[in-house]
Structure 1
Amino acid sequence: MLPDARVFTCLFAAAMIALFAQTLGATQKNGLRDRELRRLYQSLQKPIPADSAWAIRDTLLVQLPDFKATLHSGKITVLLDSTQTVTGLLFEGQAHLEFRPPHALEQFQFSRFAKDSLLSCTASQILWRFSRLEALSMSGASRSILNAAQFPRIHAPLHRKAQDWLSEISEALLEHRGYNLAAQLLRRRVEETPSAFVLCAFYPDRDLNPFPPLYLYFFDSAAEEPITLLQYFPKRIGRPFYTVCSYKPTHDPPPRQPAPQLMRYTGWVELDGGGNMEADLGVNIALPQTKPRTLSFALSTELDLAWVRSEQGDTLDFIRAKKETDITVFLPAPAVSADTLRLLFHYDGDMLQRHENGSLFLKDPVFWVPRLGYLNRAHYSIVFKCPPRMRVLTGGRLVRDWHEGGFHLSFYRSFLPAKAATFCLGNFSADTLLASPELGLPQIEIYSMARRALPDRKRVAKDLANSLYFFQNHLGDFPLPVLRVVESPTMHSQGFPGFVTLSWLGFAGHVTGPTEALRSHEVAHQWFGNLLGWATYHDQWLSEAFAEYLGALYVEWVLREDKRFDEMLQAWNNDLLNRGNVGVSIGMQRFGFSKQALRKSEGEKAGPVWMGVRLGQKEPLDYYMQTYEKGAYVLHMLRWLLRDLDTDSDQRFWALLADFLQRYQAAEPASADFQKIAESHYGASLDWFFQQWIYETGIPTYAWSYTILPAALERPASPIGLPVASFGVEPRQDAQLVRVQVRQENVPPHFEMPIPITVEYADGASDTRRVLVNHEGGVLEFPAYPAKVTRVLFNTGNAVLCRVVNN
């Protein structure tokens, strides 16, 4: 298809969307038009309590995966919906509750929030909500609760306080989590293949804690992690909800149904220059063989949804409550008979934040379009309309740029399917570095604030071009014809395919080393994060830690005479172990954090790298420290494991990264996938390495000492139980040998790590060798060498993240 034809196709599709909006009118901006569906939804919001209750006089067990409620005495009130289907149970009486996650990782997280690895408490009030009573059985509940209808009935209308408690739970989830419980229940009611969904909410009795949190246990067989436990503190200011646990059950769950997949966004986005955004977008979706009756999209709460329509123009029922993050769209049976589906969305809202320099950036750079699933890749073909004196910048190819009807219009089409996309609006100064085929560099476009000085722009351009050159030589070609970089007035930077929003710190910063690393970090995302993605929030370190370390490696290359790389390593070490540097004054500041925030950090107690965004629930800084800094240090340690100590070559490390990219290009690998690739380059299992540094939190302390002996002396016997690395070299009378002894502390007994040690001699020679240190310690003997020892370096190159005590 010719370019002009593609433009016409996109414009025609957008015009058709606008035509539907005008002809059908504002009267059809309601969500649920179907009366029965609306009545059912309202009754799920406020279930109807039965007049009579089940009397519990003998022990009744309600058991769900990893969760057990033992009801000793009391009553159960049945909660009904508009069809008289049981949708919940409310117990009042005496009960004992137990919850214990089976995984060590989740036990660690549970103890972080509850100060114990096991929840064992009494409760006088428990609520269960489910789409159908059978969901309890589907989720593994004991059959006794299903036979509870045989228990004696008593006349006990539900009192007002209990009814208020039911409403408070739903309102709290919606207010603070954007989670619409009634919509979730309704989705499962209408699906032809229902999934198990159960919520259990309770307050522990106040014997030990006068202000206990509300616990909410979820089992959702359709979720990536079916078991979730939340804590809710109603009186807490700021963040009242915490995800205590979230995981897959230990038993093999039934296979999940294939999920619908995003394909493409097309349509119009109109911007008024004051921050308001109005969008008419079409969303193309590939449907699985088993057709869904509903689809759930995520959209920023800043945006108000007016309507959703099918490609044929039929207005569809949907649910979108105030402050809800999701949109539940109900699909008529004929609409899902095909393998692909196209939905049309119309929404608007105050979505862009205006800054002092006049530019406007999205408040939410991901959910300005309806997202289906977890950051699924999609193409974007969008016409942006803005005031004539402003311009829109985004990723992709600028197919057409023109003025019409008092607007400045720009049609962009993405080069590749992207996990996310963003845009910005404003007046910018532009600089262009034309493509350099001889160096393999694409065209680089730099857009800065109008008053940004030319030397600042030149520094940015230099680092962008050098970073692309450096990474292409090691990782493979940059896959796009242009890299577009725009100055962001915020502290935050982001890298999208072919498009980078670079913080003003990246333009104005003058801290040599970290500033260059910041610029290079976002360029590195073109490979790690965009070309290669990540599977779940657990694996996001495959994007952020890789970009962080590659930015540091760029500094090591471009500023190799200044030893700025060593300073950055030491800064990470200080941040993680001593709460000291905040990344040489700019590392964490680029996210808006101060040294005061660093002092509040939980450090390694927040959890392992694999916990991802859950690390930052108490202190947001902890997510960045563990994912960015510790994750980057993990790669540094892996680099030293693969390094050839005789030649100081890192060829195996760079080959590992290039191989990882090639095998998982345009895919979403998990941490285990990277481990397999790393093992193939290491030549042995790395279970021990990934277990220690990705899935656990321990950081060792090494107490070490060394002895220099004349070669003529007899070598002392090795202490029993200490592994000795010795080398068969004939000693000479004028030579010296070095014996190093290491003791390991503050980590579990299974922890072990090879540590490089370097001996430097008076004649300029040096020798670097590894010693394996475990719970028994480690001993390394260097062979005799005919020169005086001038220095012994432990943990050469800061190769291992650790605390060191020199004895």
Structure 2
Amino acid sequence: MNSKLLNIFLIIFTIAVHVNIFSQKQLGSNYEKVLNELLNMKVDSARTGSIEKYTLTRDAGKYFFESGIVYPCKPINEKIRAAVFVGKGIFSYMPPLKIEQDQLSRFYEKRNLNSEFEYVFMLFADSTFEELEKHFSYENLNNYDNADDVIKETLRFISDKDKKYFETVLMKAVLEDRRNIFFFSGFENEDSRRMFYEVDPFSSEEIKLHEGHLEGFNRRTRLDNVNSFNAVSDKINNEEKYNDFIDIEKYKLDVTIEENADFSASAEIIFIPEAGNQKYLNFLMYHKLEIDSVLFQNQKHTKFFKPEDNANLRIEFEEELKTDSVYSLKVFYKGDVLERNLNAWFYLKTSGGWFPRYGTRKYSNYELTFKYPSSMDLLSVGEKIYESEIGRVKFARWTTKEKIRNASFNIGAFKTFEYNEVGIPKIKVYHSKYGHRGSVRGIENEVGSDVVNAVKYFRDNFGEIESDSLTVTEIPFYHGEAFPDLIHLSFVTFTNTRYTGFDHKFRGHEVAHQWWGINVDFETYHDQWLSEGFAEYSGLMFLQHESENDEKFNTILEEYKDEIINNRKQIFWEGQESGPIYLGIRTSGKETEGDYNLIIYRKGAWVLHMLRMMLTDHSTKDDSKFKNMMKEYYQTYKGKKANTAGFHKIVNKHFNENMDWFFNQWVYDTFIPFYNFAYETEKTEDGKYKIKCKTSLENSYPEHKAIVPILIKSEDEKFERYFIKLEGDKTELELPPISFEPDEIIFDYLNSVLGEVDYVDWEDIE
């Protein structure tokens, strides 16, 4: 080694050692001191006191302390932030919204709570202690009534000693010595169910009720969100709130990937504070990533805290951040985020957590630079603006033209197939060279053709997307995922195209996300069905378009219907009822595993199907009214975030009526009709046949409305079609006379309503 190379090596080595030594120094921050105080909270024996007949109100929740002892905890950062009550009390609670009352009833079979408790643990950044202190008498007690055990048991649900984690909102308030309206409490009710009530000023929905569970041999903790809604208290609504502490202008990501899948990177984060006087920020990233160092304003090392196997990166600043100022953080990190097997598959273990993210729905510009083996291909979001190759290493850079929500990449050894057609983006399909064996010959062209045809179909029926190119890449997982101009498709769909139609639907679903979820984003978790449900039904429409008939389309819809109707129904018992579409991710819980996919994707698709069926001219199969409605929705919200209310307005316009009845039943509620259907016929004097129909609901729902197609058939294959409007629990009507004798009358012959029907005798419906 010559002297010049040796000097370079020594410089690099010295820098590396400096970074590692400095990173160890970062852990000795004030953050650790406060964290340890929170994780090891104990009762303060000098401040205990008795309390009687006092009510502590926190928005929709009220704690009535009938009689007992208040045990304040020892100060944290010199202030009392927690207390335990032991004695007799009642927690009263009633959510203000019907949809939340319904959800409460699914958990507890009641629409409001008056739950008795023998203890309650309270964490707060507000005036809780001062309010309690005014109403209790100090007593010097040596017996703590197991108050420390109560603290320990409750903290399990919002902290983790091994991973050095504590609830972020209170942590930030304590560190910055702020007072805000944060309040978190936990207790067991009279049925020994763990309940947690929370007021979080920095959440889009400030009030939350959770139920806690301990699962498995290791007794892992789990919090299921029962209720979540906006505060009703003027005090909370008038409080200055910041749902986003910072706005990220740009990410500059510089990534190095080695042949053996070793991963290292730097992330420069350019941001503007939206709230002043901040000294701490929390970012999320894959838990196996390790931080080497963090630079502030590209020159000064700043303190950080990210323990091993923890997804939270906390950064501490020497001075408070100021609003309207532009700041820069540069995070140097590495870790086990990629894995490579013998078949040259690269497994990216997290599609979105491979860099420090501030929340999961922030829009930012991206500049992504990758250094990787020249034997591999790397595909990223954005437009490739630079690529070079030196020896066995490639360098490439991508930039985004506008702010996007999600950024990802894929790497591997691929065969490339290009599709250049007028009127659509240039499409490239990347199929793994060595990742699997046994694929059907030419499968990559089947995938490519589906992508091309899906883009054309959605363009014609929904509108144009502003993309010059679309990259489709195979990943070694069972799912698909879409990003702006980049689609990840499962290796399974590159194996063969199944006769059931699943692969056409699956490929169409992921392509459709370029319209639903990317060009038209959703506003909150309540509106996620506008992305996933719309993409799912778009995939089904594409399958129908590509098929010779509607058999596969209808078969999948029937399967979805059966799964939705019979979810958790066993011979001798029924599990917890599924929640409505509008609850989004909250449909999934301990007792409702899998409901997110079932309700948001599949029931969401059924909602669109019912709208389409009502707008279709079934004599000609012309569904242009439905497609025009979807076009207007797409054009209205293109480049924006849509919500359910906005889609509702467009539906009203195209139906030329108020469709509250439809959205109330299918989006905000869980009702699914079970019909009894009967009919009788009578020959008239002029030789025609008069038909009377009668329906009733087995499950009463007075607000029910539906438009149902009826098919009347004769023995010699003559037929008539009618649409009947059902309202309330019972409908009786007479159809126009027909010229032939009916042999069979089929209720909902078009499979246009998510429900079930039982054919009964006329007298069976009273």
Q: Output the TM-score relative to the length of structure 2.
A: 0.88
Matched, 1:639 2:612: yes
Unaligned runs of 5+ in 2: 1-11, 761-766
Structure 1's unaligned 5+ residue stretches are: 1-17, 138-142, 580-595, 713-732
2:302 aligns to what?
Answer: 316
The correspondence for 1:199, drawn from 176, 180, 184, is 184
**What residue in structure 2 maps to residue 473 of structure 1?**
460
For residue 207 of structure 2, the aligned residue among 214, 227, 234 is 227
Q: 1:355 to 1:661 in 2, by over 3 A?
A: farther
Q: Which residue of 1 aligns with 2:224?
A: 242
User: What is the distance in 1 between the residues matched to 2:89 and 2:242?
Assistant: 36
Does the C-alpha gap of structure 1 residues 751 and 50 become closer, same or farther in structure 2, counting only changes over 3 Å? same
The yes-or-no answer on 1:690 pairing with 2:676 is no
Which amino acid in the other structure matches residue 241 of structure 1?
L
Partner of 2:7: none
Q: Distance in 2 between matches of 1:417 and 1:569?
A: 36
Judged with a 3 Å threshold, the aligned counterparts in structure 2 of structure 1 residues 69 and 288 are, in CA distance, closer, same or farther, namely closer
Cα contact 1:195–1:222 (8 A) shared by 2: no
8 Å Cα contact 1:532-1:664 kept in structure 2: yes
What SS is found at the alignment partner of 2:63?
Answer: strand
**Could you tell me which residue of structure 1 aligns to residue 727 of structure 2?**
774
For residue 174 of structure 1, report the CA deviation from its aligned partner.
3.2
- Tell me whether 1:214 sits opposite 2:201 in the alignment: no
- In 1, Cα distance between equivalents of 2:415 and 2:75: 60
The answer to whether the aligner puts 1:302 opposite 2:302 as a matched pair is no
Could you say if the C-alpha distance between residues 48 and 735 of structure 1 is closer, same or farther in structure 2, counting changes exceeding 3 Å?
closer
Q: Report the residue type matching 2:250 in the other structure.
A: R
In the TM superposition, residue 48 of structure 1 has moved relative to its aligned partner by 5.5
- Tell whether the 8 Å contact from 2:372 to 2:394 is kept in structure 1 after alignment: yes
**1:286 Cα deviation after fit:** 3.8
1:228–1:236 CA distance, 2 compared to 1 (3 A) = farther
Deviations, residues 626-652 of structure 1 (Å, cap 9, x unaligned)? 111111000111112322456442222
How far, CA to CA, are the matches of 1:303 and 1:115 in structure 2?
A: 44
- TM-superposed deviation, 1:397: 2.1
Q: Kindly tell me: are residues 159 and 31 of structure 1, through their superposed partners in 2, closer, same or farther at Cα, counting changes over 3 Å?
A: farther
Q: Kindly tell me: are residues 349 and 601 of structure 1, through their superposed partners in 2, closer, same or farther at Cα, counting changes over 3 Å?
A: farther
Cα distance, 1:20 vs. partner? 12
Deviations for 1:26-83, whole angstroms, at most 9, x for unmatched residues? 2332586786555444333334642323322532222222222222333222223354
In structure 2, the partner of 1:101 is 95
The residue number in structure 2 matching 1:535 is 523
Counterpart of 1:421 (choices 394, 407, 410) is: 407
What is the letter of the counterpart of residue 546 of structure 2?
V
Per-residue deviation, residues 555-608 of structure 1 (Å, max 9, x unmatched): 1111043522111221111221245xxxxxxxxxxxxxxxx9999997881211
Aligned partner (choices 430, 435, 443) of residue 446 of structure 1: 430
**Per-residue deviation, 1:236:** 4.2
Amino acid at match of 1:502: L
Other-structure match for 1:521: 509
Shift, 1:526, TM fit: 0.7
How far, CA to CA, are the matches of 2:193 and 2:184 in structure 1?
16
* 1: CA distance, partners of 2:656 / 2:270: 44
- Provide closer, same or farther for how the CA distance between residues 267 and 682 of structure 1 changes in structure 2, counting only shifts above 3 A: same
Give 1:568's aligned amino acid: I
1:261 partner letter = D
Moved more, 513-522 or 226-235: 226-235
Partner of 1:585: none
What is the Cα deviation at residue 301 of structure 1?
Answer: 1.7
Q: Is the 8 A contact 1:446 1:461 kept in 2?
A: no
Residue from 524, 535, 538 that aligns with 1:547: 535
Contact persistence 1:361–1:423 (CA under 8 A): no
Q: Which amino acid is the alignment partner of residue 42 of structure 1?
A: N
Q: Tell me the residue number matched to 1:677.
A: 650
Secondary structure (helix, strand or coil) at the match of 2:594 reads helix
Partner of residue 635, structure 2? 662
CA contact (8 A) 2:536 2:605 kept: yes
Residue matched to 1:187: 172
Which of 242, 245, 267 is 1:281 aligned to? 267
Q: Aligned to 1:620, which of 585, 589, 593?
A: 593
- C-alpha change, 1:244 and 1:785, in structure 2 (3 Å) is closer
Could you say which residue in structure 2 is the equivalent of 1:387?
373
What is the aligned counterpart of 1:649 among 622, 629, 633? 622
TM normalised by structure 1 equals 0.84
- Structure-to-structure mapping, 1:329-348, within 5 angstroms: 329-333=315-319, 335-336=321-322, 338-348=324-334
Is 1:61 aligned to residue 55 of structure 2? Answer: yes
What is the deviation of 1:692?
0.6
Spell out the pairing of 1:486-635 with structure 2 (5 A cutoff). 486-508=473-495, 509-561=497-549, 563-578=551-566, 605-618=577-590, 619-635=592-608
Residue 680 of structure 1: CA displacement? 1.8
The answer to whether the 8 Å contact 2:42/2:151 transfers is: no
Q: Which moved more, 1:100-109 or 1:567-576?
A: 100-109
Report SS of the residue matched to 2:171.
Answer: helix
Change (3 A) 1:404 1:636: same
Offset at 1:488?
Answer: 2.1
Alpha-carbon spacing, 1:653–1:356, altered in 2? closer, same or farther (3 Å): farther
Of stretches 602-611 and 652-661 in structure 1, the one that deviates more from structure 2 is 602-611
RMSD over aligned CA atoms reads 3.3
Contact kept? 2:49, 2:71, Cα under 8 Å = no
CA distance in 1, matches of 2:359, 2:257: 27
Q: Equivalents in 1 of 2:541, 2:161: separation in Å? A: 40
How many matched pairs? Answer: 738
The offset of 1:361, in angstroms, is 2.7
Q: Letter of the aligned partner of 2:588 in structure 1?
A: G
Is the 8 Å Cα contact of residues 708 and 739 (structure 1) preserved in structure 2? yes
Is the CA contact 2:412–2:432 (under 8 Å) kept in the aligned structure 1? no
Using the TM superposition, give the Cα deviation of residue 244 of structure 1 relative to its aligned residue in structure 2, in angstroms: 2.3
Change (3 A) 1:756 1:239: farther
Q: CA deviation digits over 1:421-450, x for unaligned, max 9?
A: 2222221222222x211x435333333343
- The change in CA–CA distance for 1:157 and 1:84 in structure 2 (over 3 A counts) is farther
Contact 2:285–2:355 under 8 Å retained in 1? yes
Q: Does the aligned pair in 2 maintain the 1:541–1:627 contact within 8 Å?
A: yes
Classify the secondary structure of the residue corresponding to 2:410. strand
Equivalent in the alignment of 2:706: 753
CA distance in 2, matches of 1:688, 1:541: 19
The corresponding residue for 2:445 is 458
Q: Deviations over 1:185-205 (max 9, x none)?
A: 231245587431111122335
CA positional deviation for 1:281: 0.8
Distance change >3 Å, CA 176–CA 668, structure 1 → 2:
farther
Q: Aligned partners of 1:337 and 1:19: how far apart in 2? A: 39
CA shift, 1:623, in A, is: 1.3
Give SS of 1:383's match: strand
- Asked if structure 2 preserves the Cα contact closer than 8 Å seen for 1:762 and 1:787, the reply is no
Mean CA deviation greater in 288-297 or 570-579: 288-297
Aligned counterpart for 2:134 among listed residues 134, 143, 147: 147
Counterpart residue identity of residue 254, structure 2: W
Decide whether the 8 Å contact of 2:51 with 2:65 is kept in 1: no
Secondary structure at the counterpart of residue 126 of structure 1: strand
SS at match of 2:522: coil
**Structure 2 residue corresponding to 1:80, chosen from 59, 74, 81:** 74
Matched residue of 2:521: which SS? coil
> Which shows bigger deviation, 311-320 or 664-673?
311-320
Q: Would the alpha carbon gap of residues 511 and 30 (structure 1) be closer, same or farther in structure 2, given more than 3 Å must change?
A: farther
What secondary structure does 1:564 align onto? helix
Whether the aligned pair in 2 keeps the contact of 1:41 and 1:182 (CA below 8 Å) is no
Q: Is the contact between residue 65 and residue 89 of structure 2 (CA under 8 Å) also seen in structure 1?
A: yes
Residue 697 of structure 1 deviates from its aligned partner by 0.7
In 2, the alpha carbon distance for the partners of 1:31 and 1:752 equals: 66
Native 8 Å contact 2:52 2:68 kept in 1: no
In the TM superposition, residue 352 of structure 1 has moved relative to its aligned partner by 2.4
CA–CA distance in structure 2, aligned partners of residues 676 and 483 of structure 1: 32
Stretch of structure 1 that moved more, 744-753 or 679-688: 744-753
